């Protein structure tokens, strides 16, 4: 059966364009750049955001808040209308240089199909977050060939500062200010080493699973795929990996990079494998490098990863130029 595609100049899906689409990287921040903090998912309080405001100001940045950043609607940061309004306004505002999502939880994916990205495509800016924000990052990178940033969020900053976890914060600063970063990949008994080059893409496994088949689903051909997750049952992990594999997302990778598989759950009758063992079982027949224990995701540190950007794995290091 033939499929009909409707041309839209603002919708350029890299699944169609292929691996060699030219990625556009947002301009690096400088002193006086504007960061807009918004809430696209779970609600957050001023006390939880204040440390990140102080941090940004210490870097010489101007901080703005979306008008609904602290709104509440049950577990959400306001109604879908509130959250959509703040995200759309931030995308449209040419004076904003970076959009920093305040936290994850749930709620970002429900906004995506209502957004108009025209102004954003004309004037790209950093969009930063992780966890539930994975859907927005993948949508931007996949459809508009614009680099986005998987990195720590305001909800984490207070705890990271108290734990002296400066690697999460410093890596965020380095990437948005245009500095090169190089991360050591820790040894892990399940890792299958080797060098690799490719665009970096991925994020939270549960969110990747939820967006498969949609316009936000990433193109992984030739890519270095990063995955992580939190608080999932082991059989859920297997089910999600099966779906990624059946949809072809695991077949033609340059490498697979696994971050924190944090606080996994098991049933009364044990599943019989760890989350890492489950992941490996689904890629064992492929010849690309597989690295476990990378320091990103729902853990400390949560190193900043620019999605869509060409990166290199060499000598057990991930290098981002």
Whole-angstrom distance, CA of residue 175 vs CA of residue 84:
27
Closest CA to 228 of 256, 254, 253, 249: 256
DSSP 225: E
Q: State yes or no: pLDDT of 318 exceeds 70.
A: yes
CA distance 197 to 311: 6
At 135 the pLDDT is 98
Task: State pTM to two decimals.
Answer: 0.93
pLDDT averaged over every residue in the chain: 93
Residues 6+ positions from 163 with CB-CB distance below 8 Å: 300
What domains sit in the chain, N to C, each tagged with a CATH number?
A: 16-176 (3.40.50.10740), 181-320 (3.50.30.60)
pLDDT for residue 9? 35
- Residue 274 to residue 25: CA distance in whole angstroms: 37
Q: Which residues lie across from 313 on neighbouring strands?
A: 196, 318
**Residue 4: pLDDT over 80:** no
What pLDDT is recorded for position 163?
83
pLDDT band per the 50, 70, 90 thresholds, residue 18: very low
Per-residue pLDDT tens for 221-230?
A: 999 999 999 9
Q: How far, in Å, CA of 115 to CA of 84, rounded?
A: 7
Looking at residue 162, its pLDDT comes to 84
pLDDT digits (tens, 9 = 90+) for 99-145: 999 999 999 999 999 999 999 999 999 999 999 999 999 999 999 99
pLDDT at 8: 36
Question: Does the pLDDT value for residue 217 go beyond 70?
Answer: yes
- d(CA 138, CA 249) in angstroms, rounded, equals 13
- Which residue from 15, 5, 21, 30 is spatially nearest to 97, judged by alpha carbons? 30
């Amino acid at each position: 059966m033939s499929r009909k595609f409707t041309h839209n100049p603002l919708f350029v899906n890299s699944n169609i364009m292929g691996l060699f689409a030219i990625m556009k990287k947002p301009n690096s921040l400088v002193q006086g750049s504007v960061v807009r903090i918004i809430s696209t998912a779970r609600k957050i309080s001023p006390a939880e955001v204040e440390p990140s405001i102080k941090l940004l100001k210490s870097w010489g940045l101007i901080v703005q808040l979306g008008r609904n950043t602290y709104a509440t609607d049950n577990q959400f940061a306001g109604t879908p209308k509130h959250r959509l309004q703040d995200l759309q306004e931030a995308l449209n505002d040419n004076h904003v240089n970076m959009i920093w999502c305040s936290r994850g939880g749930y709620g970002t994916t429900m906004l995506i199909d209502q957004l108009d990205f025209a102004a954003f495509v004309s004037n790209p800016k950093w969009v930063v977050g992780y966890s539930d924000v994975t859907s927005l990052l993948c949508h931007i990178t996949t459809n508009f060939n614009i680099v986005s940033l998987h990195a720590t969020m305001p909800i984490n900053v207070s705890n990271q500062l108290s734990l002296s976890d400066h690697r999460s914060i410093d890596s965020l600063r380095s990437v948005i200010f245009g500095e090169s970063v190089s991360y050591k990949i820790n040894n892990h008994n399940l890792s299958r080493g080797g060098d690799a080059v490719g665009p970096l893409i991925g994020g939270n496994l549960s969110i990747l699973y939820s967006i498969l088949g949609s316009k936000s689903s990433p193109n992984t051909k030739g890519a270095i795929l990063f995955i992580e997750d939190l608080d999932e049952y082991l059989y859920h992990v297997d089910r999600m990996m099966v779906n990624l594999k059946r949809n072809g997302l695991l077949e033609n990778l340059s490498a697979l990079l696994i971050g924190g598989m944090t606080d996994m759950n098991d049933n009364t009758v044990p599943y019989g494998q760890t989350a890492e063992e489950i992941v490996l079982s689904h890629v064992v027949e492929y010849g690309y490098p597989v690295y476990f224990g990378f320091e990103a995701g729902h853990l400390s540190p949560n190193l900043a990863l620019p999605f869509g950007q060409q990166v290199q794995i060499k000598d057990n290091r991930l290098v981002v130029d």
